[in-house]
Amino acid sequence: MVKLGALSALALGLGAVGMVESSSSSSSSSSASSADSGGCLGVNAVSARCSPQETLHSREFFYVGGRSAPDPTGNITVGQLYVEKLTPLVKLRPTPLVFLHGGGVSGTTWLNTPDNRPGWATYFLRQGYQVYLVDANTIGRSAANDPAAFDMAVGMSDQFVEMGFTAVKAYGAYPQSRLHTQWPGSGMRGDPYFDHFQRSFLPYTTSYVPQELAVRAAACELLSLVGAPSYLVSHSLGSKFAVGISNDCPRRLAGSINLEPSTIPFRAYGFALGSTPANPWGLTNTPLDYEPAVSSAAELNASVESVGRETLARRNCYRQKEPARRLPKVASVPYLALTGEASVHVTYDHCIIDYLEQVGGRPDWIKLADVGIRGNGHFMYLEKNSLEIAAVVHSWIKKQQHWWW
């Protein structure tokens, strides 16, 4: 077992930043290779000899939203979002999908997996959906044009990625981590699939409030331009954006699909017992429209209590004291959460479901192990059984829409 220290997880929705100790058992894997060095797997697929695995579609890109801001050279635009629009050759579904990535990565994360299997964008194009891929403000091709307004952090380290996402079994930080089997390759430094994945982590902002506000505003403008009720598909940190969008323009949405959301009510959990304050508006860093109205996050937090006994396998939760304020706009949007059997999220995602029910929602929660899908970590949509999980999402949408095909 790898020795571990304190660690935060932006993309996991965890606590304060810490360090991970390196270990010979981790670095010794550098000689291991799970990829076929002569084939078209992983980064080898960049070769001109390798054929693409994508389905036929058209591709367009746009910049949406933003506002004018003064600059010594004149006025500039800040807060805009980069959006890719992918349209299948045959569009069968009337409800587009808008994908919101998690912390530290960009919209490219939905295109293909680290071992170069088709990603979720391809899967849903094949099912006849129109797909929109968004880069959140400050990330990737939505880089901040007002950098002084944002504190930035470097992309995630290899030790961080191993412990939090790809080799959780080796670190054994929580009981369910031993069940992790679905990451392609060893999940450790030196494995070509791991190295390909770790390179995808970009500088990210720790100025969560201005980022959330920018994404909320621009995403609602995007949904207005799309002009059809759409499903949000979010991962981890991206689910905070999804809650804000559900609050601000719920009538533009057909539903909200959340892969291991980081909207843990009022707190952030690390791998040790205990937690730190987070999500001061309950599910987000930015204001939500509670009823009865609340004047500030401080007023809301004054009525918060801890419930349940805390263990590493199942965390205690934080919720409002009754009678609780409601979130009618958020609650009006059909909601699905998915949690992997071996992810740290299985220890606390129940808190999110409990809170959504408390504020008036009727969330659906699929624990993948309960439907026979075993061994998944936090980045389930990139793991070996990723398309099996995508099919679960597709089935949920079909049920919501009363589609038989």
Q: Where are the alpha helices (DSSP H) in 180-258?
A: 192-198, 208-226, 238-248
Q: Mean pLDDT check: name the lowest of 16-20, 223-227, 348-352, 380-384.
A: 16-20
| pLDDT bracket for residue 42 (50, 70, 90) | confident
pLDDT at position 38 is 52
Is it the case that residue 292 has pLDDT exceeding 80? yes
Reported as type and span, the H/E element at residue 351 is helix 349-358
Active-site residue, from 236, 275, 343, 386: 236
Residue 370's contacts (CB-CB under 8 Å, 6 or more residues apart) are none
Look at 286 and 55; give whichever has higher pLDDT: 286
Cα–Cα nearest to 349, from 324, 322, 320, 317: 317
pLDDT at position 28 is 37
Look at 341 and 270; give whichever has higher pLDDT: 341
In this structure, the chain runs to a length of 405
Is it the case that residue 1 has pLDDT exceeding 80? no
Q: Give the pLDDT mean for 125-148.
A: 96
For the chain, give the percent of residues with pLDDT over 90. 85
How far apart (Å, rounded) are the C-alpha atoms in residues 90 and 258?
26
Q: Give the pLDDT mean for 7-16.
A: 41
| pLDDT bracket for residue 271 (50, 70, 90) | confident
Token readout for 247 is 């609050």
How far apart (Å, rounded) are the C-alpha atoms in residues 362 and 366?
13
Q: Mean pLDDT check: name the lowest of 27-31, 100-104, 176-180, 279-283.
A: 27-31
Q: Terminal CA-to-CA distance of the chain, rounded, Å?
A: 47
* Residue 398 CA, distance from chain mean position: 22
236 annotated active-site:
yes
Three-class DSSP category at 158: helix
Q: Give the pLDDT mean for 161-184.
A: 98
Q: Give the pLDDT mean for 176-186.
A: 98
For the chain, give the percent of residues with pLDDT over 70. 91
Q: Give the pLDDT mean for 254-261.
A: 99
Residue at token pair 């994945």: 197
What is the CATH architecture assignment of 53-401?
3-Layer(aba) Sandwich (3.40)
